Amino acid sequence: MKDYKKYYSVPASPEEIYLALTTPATIFLWTGEEAEMSTEPGSEFSLWEGSISGKNLEFEYGKKIVQEWYFGDQEEKSIVTIKLHPDKDGTSVELRHSNIPDEDFQDIKDGWDGAYFGALIDFYS
């Protein structure tokens, strides 16, 4: 199991980023894909036609999102924590993703940098 931590700079307010990550209609705008998402703790979510799915654990409007991501029958929970910090250029996004299966690590890392936060940065640029 591996952990991944990275900071991203996104040229939008923390509130805009929060809504872009939690509102299905806004997720569609920057991904081009339908999404199942709710800010109700305990609810299930699905992105990119199910290639990312899991359970929503915790939300703090404009500040924090915590999710469990599913990887098959993995016993240890893979937890994603996204913290949003205002900065002079918009938002500094702090990403922590724990317990990523070794065989999935490179794909997950590339996905965060490209399809996920790369696409979000492009959307707001």
- The pTM of the full predicted model, rounded to 2 decimals, is 0.93
pLDDT at residue 74, rounded to an integer: 75
CB count within 10 Å of CB 98 equals 16
- The pLDDT, as a whole number, for residue 93 is 97
Alpha helix positions (H), 2-125:
14-22, 24-31, 105-111, 117-124
The architecture (CATH level 2) of 2-124 comes to 2-Layer Sandwich (3.30)
Specify the pLDDT at position 56: 97
Q: Report the C-alpha gap between 40 and 38 in whole angstroms.
A: 5
Q: How far is CA 7 from the centre of its chain?
A: 12
Instruction: Quote the pLDDT of residue 72.
Output: 74
Q: If the chain, 125 residues long, is cut into consecutive pieces of 10 residues, what is the mean pLDDT of each piece?
A: 96 97 94 93 92 94 96 84 96 96 92 93 94
- Contact between 90 and 124 under an 8 Å Cβ cutoff? The reply is yes
pLDDT of residue 60: 97
Biggest CA pair distance of the chain: 42
